[in-house]
Amino acid sequence: MKNALWSFDELVAAAGGVADGAPQKLISGFSIDSRGLSLGEVFVALKDQRDGHEFVPAAFANGASAALVSNDYKRQAGDGALIRVADTLRGLEAIGRAARARLSPDARVIAVTGSAGKTGTKEMLRACLSPLGTTHSSDKSFNNHWGVPLTLARMPAATRFGVFEIGMNHSGEITPLSQMVRPHVAIITTVEAVHLAQFASVTEIAEAKAEIFAGVEPGGVAVLNRDNPHFDLLARRAQERGARISSFGHHAEADVRCTSLRLEADGSDVTAQASGQEISYRVAIPGAHIAQNSLAVLAAVGAAGADAAEAIQALGAVTPPAGRGTRTELTSAGGRILLIDESYNANPASMRAALAVLGTVPRAQYSRRIAVLGDMLELGAEGPALHADMKEAVDAAGADLVFACGPLMEHLYHALPEARRGAWAA
């Protein structure tokens, strides 16, 4: 099976499983969704909201090469090769660890976490590293207890650069994922007031984010936001794990320091000092927060041993991930409408950043600015106040009209003058 992602025997051994049958197709990847499965992928029957074992026959009907199933799964008509394990999630994790272990010693792995900007930073890293060698990174936001091992399992042995997003909403979630990924470079984009329903303070959130250093390889690098008030705490935690610090931001002491920033409606022009070198580049996605995270990318690419000044030029053609600032132009009887889609998720930091981008859209092209805002969740007792406080960002963006939905966003809606209230719905 020369061109397979895994040979079947390798995969059975990696999972610590028992083979039941032999595949008729090359193993091309892994899927946990029988509906979106591609030809040759191994279907992993996870038990979540539904038991994935119910969909094993459908996975084979859709072209699966094999299925990772529990020992007690009863073979159905039409089933192909099975890999039986005691627990399918643990089996997937074992495959992920084996995929990481088979990388060349020259390969470099980067992990990204933070309260906001993880996926955008991961995509910028992918854009910068892909021209330099085989680059593997997570699809969408596969950053949780099943997304990370799934992404690892899909990683080709010949990968030169691996880029992994790691998320959390509870303490203790990042540690096992970082230990699975074993990054050479670990980025924390920022620490903000998110998931406050699960944490007593933002300092506790910082401690949870610092868990990413648990798996950093010896001699690894922690890329940290020098402008964030939790920098000192994060730097201590990284150094306790033996990591070297590479900081980024506008701070005078940042290792990768922004010296010039021009924000425009369609992107940003950035000049930075890094390792005594002045580097200028353009980021094709608008927003000060995107420009800030591009400095983290610059630091991480350099830490991974690549020519950062050359690689960063790829950001001039980068596009935003779905639901994170994608733009669609619509036509109406009254003229053109620019729809900016920031619908993926929201917390106070990301919503302020999105509103700031709205404020850069030139009125000469689009005369009105309308914000359509939904609830920000997991904020605990602070939720009502954090929503009402968003008025400042709405004002700064020059939003002419606000449409709001959800019981929390009602607090912002009523904080606005009546003339700027579009409508509110539960």
Give the model confidence (pLDDT) of 318-372 as tens digits. 988 888 889 999 999 888 999 999 988 788 988 998 999 999 999 999 999 999 9
For position 2, what pLDDT does the model report? 52
Please, what is the Cα angle at 372 between 366 and 375, to 5 degrees? Answer: 155
Residue tagged 């061109």 (tokens) = 3
Whose CA is closest to 348, among 408, 418, 413, 402? 408
Domain co-membership, 185 together with 313? yes
Give me the CATH number covering residue 25: 3.40.1390.10
Three-state DSSP class for 55? helix
Q: What confidence tens digit (pLDDT) does each residue in 205-222 have? A: 999 999 999 999 999 999
Residues 312 and 357 in one domain: no
> Could you tell me if residue 59 is inside a domain?
yes
Average pLDDT, integer, range 131-139: 93
User: Domain end: 255, 284, 317, which one?
Assistant: 317
Instruction: Answer yes or no: is 225 within a domain.
Output: yes
* Residue 231, amino acid: F
Same domain, yes or no: 121 and 192 = yes
Cα-to-chain-centroid distance, residue 244: 23
Let me know if residue 95 belongs to a domain. no
Nearest 5°: the CA angle 100, 101, 102 is 95
- Residue pair 59/32 in contact (Cβ under 8 Å)? The answer is no
Q: Tens digits of per-residue pLDDT, 25-55?
A: 999 999 999 998 999 999 999 998 889 999 9
Q: Are residues 110 and 217 in the same domain?
A: yes
Contact 52, 27 (CB under 8 A): no
Query: At which residue do the structure tokens 């529990």 appear?
Result: 70
Q: Are residues 200 and 349 in the same domain?
A: no
What is the pLDDT at residue 143?
87
What is the total count of domains within the chain? 3
In this prediction, residue 193 carries a pLDDT of: 81
Q: How far is CA 120 from the centre of its chain?
A: 7
Query: Under DSSP, is residue 285 helix (H, G, I), strand (E, B) or coil?
Result: coil
Distance separating alpha carbons of residues 36 and 213, to the nearest angstrom: 34
Describe the crossing of helices 348-358 and 288-303 by its angle, rounded to 10 degrees: 120
The CA–CA distances, whole Å, from 401 to 228, 324, 407, 413, 424 equal 32, 21, 19, 10, 11
Give the mean pLDDT of the chain: 94
Contacts of 16 (CB under 8 A, 6+ apart): 85, 91, 94
Range of the domain at 15: 8-86
Q: What's the average model confidence in pLDDT over 409-423?
A: 96
Residue where a domain stops, chosen among 86, 121, 153: 86
pLDDT at position 382: 87
Percent of the chain, pLDDT > 70?
100
Report the alpha-carbon distance of residue 96 to residue 16 in Å, rounded. 12
* pLDDT value, residue 265: 87
Q: Which residues partner with 186 through β-bridges?
A: 111, 222
How far is Cα 353 from Cα 344, in angstroms, rounded to an integer? 14
Q: What is the pLDDT of residue 234?
A: 98
How far is Cα 163 from Cα 238, in angstroms, rounded to an integer?
Answer: 19
The answer on 212 and 73 residing in a single domain is: no
CA separation for the pair 224, 230 (Å, rounded): 10
The answer to whether the beta carbons of residues 3 and 26 sit under 8 Å apart is yes
Is residue 155 one of the residues assigned to a domain?
yes
Share of the chain above pLDDT 90, in %: 83
Q: Which helix (H) or strand (E) holds 175?
A: helix 174-181
Query: Is 306 in the same domain as 399?
Result: no
Q: 18-22: list long-range contacts, CB under 8 Å, 24+ apart.
A: 18/71, 18/83, 18/84, 18/85, 19/81, 19/82, 19/83, 19/84, 20/75, 20/81, 20/82, 20/83, 20/84, 21/66, 21/79, 21/80, 21/81, 21/82, 22/81
Same domain, 179 and 279: yes
Residues 117 and 229 in one domain: yes
What residues contact 304, with CB distance under 8 A and at least 6 apart? 108, 110, 129, 161, 184, 185
Residue 1 reports pLDDT greater than 50: no
Establish if 92 belongs to a structural domain: no
Do 250 and 340 reside in the same domain of the chain?
Answer: no
Flag whether 94 is in a domain. Answer: no
Residue 286 within any structural domain of the chain: yes
CATH number at 330 reads 3.90.190.20
The encoded tokens of residue 329 equal 């132009």
pLDDT over 80 (residue 316): yes
Same domain as 337, residue 311: no
Cα torsion angle, 258, 259, 265, 267, sign: negative
Q: How would you classify the pairing of strands 267-274 and 256-264? A: antiparallel
Dihedral pair phi/psi, residue 102, rounded to 5°? -90, 0
pLDDT, mean of residues 168-172: 90
End-of-domain residue from the set 299, 317, 335: 317
In a domain, 98, yes or no: no
Pair 257, 330 in one domain: no
Asked whether residue 3 carries a pLDDT value surpassing 80, the answer given is no
- Please give the pLDDT value at position 312: 97
Write the DSSP symbol of residue 320.
Answer: P
Give how far the C-alpha of residue 145 lies from the chain's centroid of Cα atoms, to the nearest Å.
Answer: 14
